[in-house]
Structure 1
Amino acid sequence: MANVSNSCQFLFLFLFIFLSDTKGIVFQPSYITATGPTLTAFLLGNASDISLNLRTVSPSHITGSLSPPSCVAESTQWTLTREQVGKTAVRVQLRLNQSLHLCGDNETDTDCCPKPLCVLETLQLSACMGGRPQASLLIQAKIYALLLPTDSGSDNKTLIPNQVYQPLGSCPCDLTLEACDVRCCCDKDCSPEDLKLFESHCLPGPFGGHVSPTPDYQCSAQASENSPDWFPFLCVNSPPENNPYLGLFYQGDTIIPKPGPSFQRPVLSAPLSTNLYRQGRPIFTLDDQYFTIPQKSLTGQCIDNAPVAFLKNFNVKCVSLLRSCPNEQTTPTDLRVQVKNGQGGVVTVDVVDEVAVDLSQFISSTDPVDSPDETQVCENVTLALDYKFFWQGNRITDITVTRTVGIITLNGRAVTLTAGYSAVFLNGDFMGEPNSGKTGYQVGRPVIAGFVDTLENNTGSIERTSINLWKPVGDGLCSTAEKSPILFGENSTAGCLLPVSLQNLTQCNLLRENVASLQAALITAAYVAKSGDPDALTMADWVNISFVTLNSSKPVEDNTSSCREIPSHQHIHVRSIITGVVQGKPQREIHALQVSYSLSTWELDCGGGDSSPCVDLMEAQLFPLTSSVTFTDIPINTGPPKTRFQINFTEYDCDRNDVCWPELAFPITRYYTGEPYSQSLAKGLILVFFFLAASVLGTPWRQIRQAWNSASL
């Protein structure tokens, strides 16, 4: 079997992403070791005018190397087929035309293998254009004959006797193969001499081979001379097949192995689509392929063919360097894809084109290229793709995409293009807001925040937003840093770098305001949701965010090269409380959220022989801006506070000792809840009365009275 399996299919998918825009032709893989009659490879690139030629090659006797690729085809024992699987991909398959069974002694058929090593040759597959080879694939075929067992087995089925009448094995005590078992008189491996040694001590009962011993209660088991008194009246007449050993041993079925090939290739199938869409599951096209939109991976790189998950909104920016006009542009026809709606129907993507006039948000910088002589005008360059998925229940009702295009002029310079891709799921005209739990927050889900929106209809509803931390990317500067929302139950710390020069340190008030505005941009909300599923119109579901204001009453004394009380660190403290338990899991709600700042002094470091930052007003040094979040659980007080006696005298504490003296009168205390307090108190007083009466009228009290009377006399 060829060394082409699932890994080759996945490798093709990844290489197809990176080589889809290239003009070259390449085989993947470029070398194959074939051990079976079928092998598969992929030809990547523009293969519309490519011809494939197969021939057998051998190493040179002088140099030992193979001959270079050639476009001259030869007659081989392999059949070559090709199949177009994409715009720039061709599946190439080779199949051996020879049978792999081993030739018999008197067999005259040439379609067989004369020896076990059936095929041993080197093949060269060349992709040619205009009579010149563009790429080559080297194949080392080493295939052995298919060896089948000489006895293919019988089709006769083993007859299974009725288990009711086959209760015992032939010799249950025969435990050792080809050896005589002691005291096993039915063992066929025992010679007559061996049997004489233990013939009078054979194992009794069914395990010794005595089939169906007659029980004492059978009428046929007793003779007239030794029968007990009850025998004529209480014996049982039963057939010998009805005995307690039925089913203890039985003759089972025999499974005969069927002959099969010595190798098998797993069959790769397309991804199976589900009948109903669920949150997080991929969306499928009509031909059972993933519906893809460019998205970012975990490493931050953009992937062109990333599956779209149902009810998962995203908005990403993909940066690419544009040195020349793109060869292939995404057309409206390419975007009008037929998508399965999840209930047996089909939805076609509706495309709406928009032309961007201001390209400032898409083109961030330009760099000179090697050939600045030519001016190129790139028309209809795709700048953004914004998808809207309309859904209801478990199905998709409609899909629209807004394609933003623009005209980019390359005046001998490379353009850094920032393309945007987004997908939102709308239930009717309302965007489905992702929740972070039901009755409480789920650990790892974003904390939901918001602010009062009174602009629309003057309803005073809460507009959702998030509380963020710094997320540095690239060079780590605050100017290019992104924001990441805080996740419930996960403590985190992040930051970015802010360049500060000597000129900035001469204006400390302005520097403090700039730093404070950067830190304040992380939190634009005024409220935080108590639970993970808040109501935008119910203020009881939200808690005010507490901001610890900086003390600005006293003036700050700054030096010429340093600034004090810079709010360089922002700390978010979230306090949660357990409100209940659902299926054994505690449900936590946010009780309070406080935002505070830590102040620091920024001063230029001119040590180490580098004094230029302290001399040059414009040369900057990097200072850190940090942000962090901490989650704290508020303990629940489940009982009354302990008294000073319980704290100091622990030997009387019922929670710490086995003997609890304060519980001596437990039935008449309020801690006893088995019955109403009035009844338990009445019963307790009655018991005390009887105890006192028994003490007064009992023997000890009578002896005390007698002693008292004797003393008085």
Structure 2
Amino acid sequence: MANLFDITLLCSPLYVSRHVTCALLFISLAQTQNVVVFQPSYLTATGPTVTAFLLGNTSDISLNLRTASPSNTTGSIDSPSCVAELTQWVLTREQVGKTAVRIQLRLDKSLHLCGENETDTDCCPKPLCVLETLQVSACVGGTPQASLLIQARIHALLVPANTGSDNKTVIPNQVYQPLGSCPCDLTLRSCDVRCCCDKDCSTEDLELFVSDCLPGPFGGQVSPAPDYQCSVQSSENSPDWFPFLCVNSPAENNPYLGLFYQGNAITPKPGPSFQSPVLSAPVPVNVYIQGSPIFTLNDQYFTIPQKVLGQCVNNAPVAFLKNFEVECATVLRSCPTGPPLQTLPTDLRIKVKNGQGGEVMVDVIDEVATDLSQFVSSTDSDEGLVCENVTLALDYQFYWKGNGITSITLTRTVGTITLNSIVALTTKYSAVFLNGEFMAEPNSGNPGYQVGRPVIAGFVDTLDNDTDSVQRTSLNLWKPVSNGHCSTAETKPVLFGENSTSGCLLAISQQNLTQCDLLRETVSSLQADLITATLVAKSGNPDPLTMTEWVNISFVTLNSSTTMEDTTSSCHGVPSHQHIHVWSLITGIVEGVPQREIQALQVSSSLSHWALDCGGGDVSPCVDPMESQLFPITSSVTFIDIPVDTGPPKTRFQINFTEYDCNRNDVCWPELAFPITKYYTGEPYSQSLAKGLILVFFFIAASILGTPWRQIRQAWK
């Protein structure tokens, strides 16, 4: 039994390159015995290359190509023949797997159109260069087993005689001519593609893109004259108002006049440039703030080697309260003679402005490195050039208070390196800002969080004096890079006020799905690495020693609605999605800016059911236990604003009987008691109440002394 693949091909002709691109769409597995077929069995070729497949038992198959012609009696194509003929096509075959052969036919002829006096026979005498029917027969011992019919209809390549030049068409002054005669004619003495008004385009050129001409005035298709022009009206088909209301206007006076014109020169805005920018002189600051550069006593930037755009820069300014730690790789071919690899303590003892009107000097402490394995690639040779006192590391410690620097300590690590040939040296540079015993950390607001700044998180760390302190960390989301796999994915911090969803792809095979407990543990470990904190800061500048400024993070696992059991090819309860809910509240306003604080933070994990998908013809993951499929692991964050309480809660009467609510209806029944009710605001309430009581008194007196009461008294007597 031989495996036979039924392959459906979709072929799309490309008119520019005259190639046919065939895409494999569907493969279905069938069983047969000693049968070969062509897929597809019929092709229409419009380019010089044709590709098809021969499927089945192809071990003893020979291929023969000939030109087919219809029978004189029946009109159909002759039956397949194993006799090959000489054609202008080259037949090649390539084995693809055990039961498939890729067959390719390539036209061995030039497709350029013959010139008037050209004697070369390898050209096309007319635009329709090739029009023939080819038959490829698959034979076994002289007996045809299958055949492939190819209808070739190939046009000659129309290449302009002049391939074009850098000269451009001169467009007349557009102030006086609307858009010129053909605005899309950009190349002189050459046909511009899709420009149907280009006089350089021949009839054959226009046939290629006549249906895709550039529309509108830019393609030379100026709008026709409107109906109100007297020149377009006729006596046979004219409206009732003609000719009294038609307009006589010259053709040059149209809506497109002056669309392009030579006006005043506009100074262009500076854009990005690959040239080295000219740096202006530094402007010293009086008081240091977070992020401002630190200056030396002679008003120059205080610099330390750092990484800028992935490259190490020897003279990079140091920013106030910005910690960093970098490594720079250098290839040494000889001993260094200058900074930063060769430094002297006297050169490093620099006077720095402290930001409060004074100065501080860098205190240098030297250390000699005995183990060079973390700095030099190899130290196994003792012979060669010896380089002494090479600077291996510069570690700065800046002590600060308020907006100034109190002292600076530099630890310089030096060592002796032996150069036997070429040595790769890794130097380390760092800067740490310390406020007492605590390292300076960037804040995310003062005091409320600012939108777009990282959410501050942390975990409890007990100090030597049994005091609880919060060690800062961050909440992270997935940041897929490269191919998007979780093995190469990076993380990004959660930014306050910005909802986000991201993820990565994890390759899972059938073998992994047989170990569901290990799979769930692996996914849980990947998601747990995103959030290692147990606390989140309420404000943007929390105190690490004040526990009331931190909120506990709650972790919740959302169970699936249906209970499913693990099988040999599927696993349930995989925590593939991790969602962060952040509730924030506006607690006040400082200088007109709302101050937002985090009230609660919840991390929830959603469980998914993972199973291999073998539909669509791709059955290899279900057959091969090592073949893998990609499953998504996602993370997201949502920020929820807690509404501010604007007043006392409504009563049940105001909620249920809305028709009596004067704020929600046009008719207010309590207003009928004007002017003694609170709804009357024409005058003070005390005056309206007094006048109202006087009116009530007169009403009662008039009622008692009036006619009805007089009749009642008479009847009583």
User: When the two structures are superposed, what TM-score results if normalisation uses the length of structure 1?
Assistant: 0.50
Who is 1:401 aligned against? 410
> In the superposition, relative to structure 1, how do residues 643 and 500 fare at CA in structure 2: closer, same or farther (>3 Å)?
same
Shift, 1:547, TM fit: 0.5
Counterpart residue type for residue 406 of structure 2: T
1:409-424 matches, cutoff 5 A: 420-424=428-432
1:445-499 superposed Cα distances (whole Å, 9 cap, x missing partner): 2222222223532223333322222334555443444433222212222333434
Who is 2:549 aligned against? 541
> In the superposition, relative to structure 1, how do residues 287 and 553 fare at CA in structure 2: closer, same or farther (>3 Å)?
same
Shift, 1:300, TM fit: 5.5
Shift, 1:616, TM fit: 5.2
Who is 2:300 aligned against? 289
Distance 2:482 2:406 in 1: 40
Who is 1:704 aligned against? 708
Shift, 1:377, TM fit: 10
SS state of the match for residue 283, structure 1?
coil
Shift, 1:634, TM fit: 0.9
> In the superposition, relative to structure 1, how do residues 537 and 388 fare at CA in structure 2: closer, same or farther (>3 Å)?
closer
1:468 aligns with 2:437: no
Who is 1:306 aligned against? 316
SS state of the match for residue 515, structure 1?
helix
Is the contact made by 1:613 and 1:619 (CA closer than 8 Å) also made in structure 2? Answer: yes
Shift, 1:425, TM fit: 0.9
1:438 aligns with 2:442: no
1:627 aligns with 2:638: no
Who is 1:564 aligned against? 572
> In the superposition, relative to structure 1, how do residues 631 and 384 fare at CA in structure 2: closer, same or farther (>3 Å)?
farther
Shift, 1:545, TM fit: 0.9
> In the superposition, relative to structure 1, how do residues 567 and 407 fare at CA in structure 2: closer, same or farther (>3 Å)?
farther
1:273 aligns with 2:277: no
Counterpart residue type for residue 465 of structure 2: N
Is the contact made by 2:333 and 2:422 (CA closer than 8 Å) also made in structure 1? Answer: no
> In the superposition, relative to structure 1, how do residues 603 and 650 fare at CA in structure 2: closer, same or farther (>3 Å)?
same
Shift, 1:354, TM fit: 5.6
Is the contact made by 1:471 and 1:484 (CA closer than 8 Å) also made in structure 2? Answer: yes
SS state of the match for residue 557, structure 1?
coil
Counterpart residue type for residue 475 of structure 2: I
Shift, 1:596, TM fit: 0.5
Who is 1:692 aligned against? 696
Shift, 1:532, TM fit: 2.1
Shift, 1:625, TM fit: 2.5
Distance 2:427 2:561 in 1: 48
Distance 2:428 2:632 in 1: 30
Distance 2:336 2:506 in 1: 40
Shift, 1:621, TM fit: 4.5
> In the superposition, relative to structure 1, how do residues 642 and 488 fare at CA in structure 2: closer, same or farther (>3 Å)?
same
Equivalent in 426, 435, 441 of residue 434 of structure 2: 426
1:411-467 superposed Cα distances (whole Å, 9 cap, x missing partner): 99997x876543211134432333333342222222222222235322233333222
> In the superposition, relative to structure 1, how do residues 397 and 569 fare at CA in structure 2: closer, same or farther (>3 Å)?
same
1:580-591 matches, cutoff 5 A: 580-591=588-599
Distance 2:528 2:419 in 1: 39
1:296-695 matches, cutoff 5 A: 296-297=307-308, 303-316=313-326, 330-333=341-344, 336=348, 338-341=350-353, 342=355, 343-345=357-359, 347-348=361-362, 350-353=364-367, 355=369, 357=371, 359=373, 385-403=394-412, 420-454=428-462, 456-473=464-481, 476-549=484-557, 551=559, 557-604=565-612, 613-614=621-622, 617-618=625-626, 620-643=628-651, 646-647=654-655, 650-657=658-665, 660-662=668-670, 690-695=694-699
Distance 1:377 1:668 in 2: 104
Who is 2:185 aligned against? none
Is the contact made by 2:360 and 2:408 (CA closer than 8 Å) also made in structure 1? Answer: no
Is the contact made by 2:399 and 2:407 (CA closer than 8 Å) also made in structure 1? Answer: yes
Distance 2:478 2:290 in 1: 29
Is the contact made by 2:675 and 2:689 (CA closer than 8 Å) also made in structure 1? Answer: no
> In the superposition, relative to structure 1, how do residues 452 and 404 fare at CA in structure 2: closer, same or farther (>3 Å)?
same
Distance 1:362 1:611 in 2: 51
Shift, 1:563, TM fit: 2.7
Shift, 1:592, TM fit: 0.8
1:173-184 matches, cutoff 5 A: none
Is the contact made by 1:314 and 1:422 (CA closer than 8 Å) also made in structure 2? Answer: yes
Is the contact made by 1:325 and 1:377 (CA closer than 8 Å) also made in structure 2? Answer: no
Is the contact made by 1:349 and 1:400 (CA closer than 8 Å) also made in structure 2? Answer: yes
SS state of the match for residue 523, structure 2?
helix
Counterpart residue type for residue 314 of structure 1: F
1:370-420 superposed Cα distances (whole Å, 9 cap, x missing partner): xxxx999999886654321122444333333345678999999997x8765
Aligned length: 431
Distance 2:589 2:535 in 1: 25
Counterpart residue type for residue 271 of structure 1: P
1:627-675 superposed Cα distances (whole Å, 9 cap, x missing partner): 22111101133334445654465453222346543366699889999xx
Is the contact made by 2:558 and 2:606 (CA closer than 8 Å) also made in structure 1? Answer: no
Is the contact made by 1:577 and 1:588 (CA closer than 8 Å) also made in structure 2? Answer: yes
Is the contact made by 1:347 and 1:397 (CA closer than 8 Å) also made in structure 2? Answer: no
Shift, 1:296, TM fit: 4.7
SS state of the match for residue 692, structure 1?
helix
Q: Percent identity?
A: 63
Is the contact made by 1:356 and 1:405 (CA closer than 8 Å) also made in structure 2? Answer: no
Counterpart residue type for residue 432 of structure 1: A
Is the contact made by 2:572 and 2:609 (CA closer than 8 Å) also made in structure 1? Answer: yes
Is the contact made by 2:343 and 2:391 (CA closer than 8 Å) also made in structure 1? Answer: no
Counterpart residue type for residue 319 of structure 2: A
The two structures, once aligned, show a CA RMSD in angstroms of 4.8
1:215-271 superposed Cα distances (whole Å, 9 cap, x missing partner): xxxxxxxxxxxxxxxxxxxxxxxxxxxxxxxxxxxxxxxxxxxxxxxxxxxx99632
Distance 1:639 1:557 in 2: 52
Distance 1:425 1:455 in 2: 19
> In the superposition, relative to structure 1, how do residues 323 and 514 fare at CA in structure 2: closer, same or farther (>3 Å)?
farther
> In the superposition, relative to structure 1, how do residues 583 and 275 fare at CA in structure 2: closer, same or farther (>3 Å)?
closer
> In the superposition, relative to structure 1, how do residues 395 and 647 fare at CA in structure 2: closer, same or farther (>3 Å)?
closer
Counterpart residue type for residue 290 of structure 1: Y
User: When the two structures are superposed, what TM-score results if normalisation uses the length of structure 2?
Assistant: 0.50
SS state of the match for residue 545, structure 1?
strand
> In the superposition, relative to structure 1, how do residues 308 and 663 fare at CA in structure 2: closer, same or farther (>3 Å)?
farther
Query: Structure 2: where are the runs of 5+ without partners?
Result: 1-277
Who is 1:73 aligned against? none
Distance 1:625 1:408 in 2: 47
Distance 1:624 1:376 in 2: 54
1:108-145 superposed Cα distances (whole Å, 9 cap, x missing partner): xxxxxxxxxxxxxxxxxxxxxxxxxxxxxxxxxxxxxx
Distance 1:536 1:647 in 2: 46
